[in-house]
Structure 1
Amino acid sequence: MRPMLIAAPTLEPVSIAEMKSWLREDSSDEDQLIQALIASARMTLEAYTRRFFITQSWRIIFDAWPPGGDVIVIPFAPFQTVSAIRIYDASDVALALAPTSYRAPASSEEGRLIFRSAPPAPGRSADGVEIDFAVGYGGLATNVPEPLRRAIMMLVAHWREKRGDDANDPLPAAAAQLAAPFRRWRLN
């Protein structure tokens, strides 16, 4: 399985105005830095929690269907929907699977793709199956749970204040505590 980002979030969970208010910053001198820190904090906390905050589109590519092909786990959370499934034949022509041939219920955890009957096998030996899907809490900043938004603000404030001076504390305890209830753990 190879994941590929198709469409990144169109906005951040915390706006520049909200962040500047939190920082008590009136000047626009550091707006570019603050915006970059917001995106970096979101991405850091997404990695820490193993969740995506704002709706974004991804594609996973398989050479062939995974074993036990009736149900495929999509290990991204929160899972919203599957937008397309393509199977490539030996001539590299894509066959779009009909949405009526599978279910992909939304979930606050990882996604599950459940086939009504076995899907056709791909005809090419590499990159034979593509699944496009959306993940995230929603398309609005207000869809993101408030503790995660506060964790972003705390992390941005920490990084802005320290300016890289504290390399041993990449995720301050207060931000980690806010994000901890949302963290997905690996079972392997």
Structure 2
Amino acid sequence: MPLQILTPPTAEPLSLSEAKLHLRVDISDDDTLIGALVAAARDYAEGLTRKQMVAARWKQVLDSFPGPSLMGVPYGRTFSLPGHAIYLERGPVQQVVSIQYLDMGGNVQTMPATDYTVDYSSDPVRITPVFGKIWPIPLPQIGAVWVTFDAGFAAPMTADLAGGTVSVQGWKALAVGDALRLSNGGGALPAPLQPNTDYFVRSVVSPGVYTLATVPGGAAIALTGAGTGQSFVGVIPEGLKAWLKIRLAALYENREEVAIMNRGKIEPLPYVDRLLDNYITHEF
């Protein structure tokens, strides 16, 4: 199914300083090149795994709603792949923004969110009508249905020391009491925030702007430092980052499409691409 990116990620999963540290480069001459190679490696990994590293907004286009089919779980199984489900082809999905379609008059209609249910726990994510509802009848032409959704392991975050708030770009709306984890690349999180620690939304100041607490309902954390490098809400898996670093080094050291060896032979390391195996979304 066609996928269109509506809002690309605003940061890379590897910061320039992380990339240069792995490459053992301490000059700035190749900074632009290294940044481009990080983007190229990330794009390849995302295409292969169908996983979005840093949050982006996508539109998946369909010719019609799927189905109809009978809903049922095979005997002895606790999970099904119903024929009337929409499967989103990029993950991890943070939120379905809308499901829209062209009606028989050619007008754009938006389905009420109460008419469908989203299983965010499955990979790929499944969407079906709620019990007692069916998919609408769209105009019978190509590209008549589309789903807009946000996907990504992590989203860029900045801190406002004066307000004691953190701002998140391209992430699902959080509510008071929601738990979240933070991460950072190439620096440190805003003080006193730490990685590998659960934090909780203390208050919602405005859309995407929050105060945090160490326990649900606890006192708001007073931020004392803006942080360095690139901070994120969410965590990009280390397996993906390790693969990126290895592929980045290969691209940086080999500037041509062939390698001429004076002696010996090229030996690919078989474990490298296996680092991506756990993150691949397979077709059903």
Report the TM range for the smaller structure's normalisation: 0.7 to 0.9
Tell which structure's C-alpha radius of gyration is larger.
2
Partner of 2:5: 5
What amino acid is aligned across from residue 254 of structure 2 in structure 1? K
Higher mean displacement: 66-75 or 43-52 = 66-75
Does residue 17 of the first structure (1) align with residue 17 of the second (2)? yes
* Alpha-carbon spacing, 1:46–1:118, altered in 2? closer, same or farther (3 Å): same
For residues 107 and 33 of structure 2, what CA distance do their matches in structure 1 show?
A: 45
Q: Secondary structure of the residue that 1:113 maps to in structure 2? A: strand
Q: Percent identity?
A: 28
Q: Which residue of structure 2 aligns with residue 64 of structure 1?
A: 64
* Counterparts in 2 of 1:186 and 1:92: CA distance versus 1, 3 Å: closer
Q: After the TM superposition, which segments of 4 or more aligned residues of structure 1 sit over 4 Å from their partners? A: none
1:126 is aligned to 2:218: no
Cα drift, residue 152 of structure 1: 0.5
Comparing 154-163 and 69-78, the one that deviates more: 69-78
Letter in 2 for 1:176: D
Aligned-pair CA distance for 1:16: 0.7
CA distance in 1, matches of 2:251, 2:152: 25
Between 1 and 2, higher relative CO (CA 8 Å, sep ≥ 6) is seen in 1
Structure 2: unaligned runs, 5 residues or longer: 69-82, 157-231, 260-265
TM-score (normalised: structure 2): 0.59
Count of matched residue pairs: 185
Partner of 1:95: 109
Aligned equivalents of 2:148, 2:85: Cα separation in 1? 16
Q: 1:173 to 1:36 in 2, by over 3 A?
A: farther
Per the alignment, do residues 40 and 56 of structure 1 end up closer, same or farther by CA in structure 2, a change over 3 Å counting? same
* Aligned-partner Cα distance in 1 for 2:278–2:126: 22
Aligned mates of 1:123, 1:161 — CA distance in 2: 52
More strand by share: 2
Q: How does 1:1-188 map to 2 (within 5 A)?
A: 1-68=1-68, 70-107=84-121, 109-116=123-130, 117-123=133-139, 125-140=141-156, 143-166=235-258, 173-186=270-283
Q: RMSD value over aligned CA atoms?
A: 2.3
Deviation track 1:36-67 (CA, whole Å, cap 9, x = no partner) reads 10011111112232322222211112222122
> Aligned partners of 1:161 and 1:58: how far apart in 2?
33
User: Given the two structures, how large is their TM-score scaled by the length of structure 1?
Assistant: 0.86
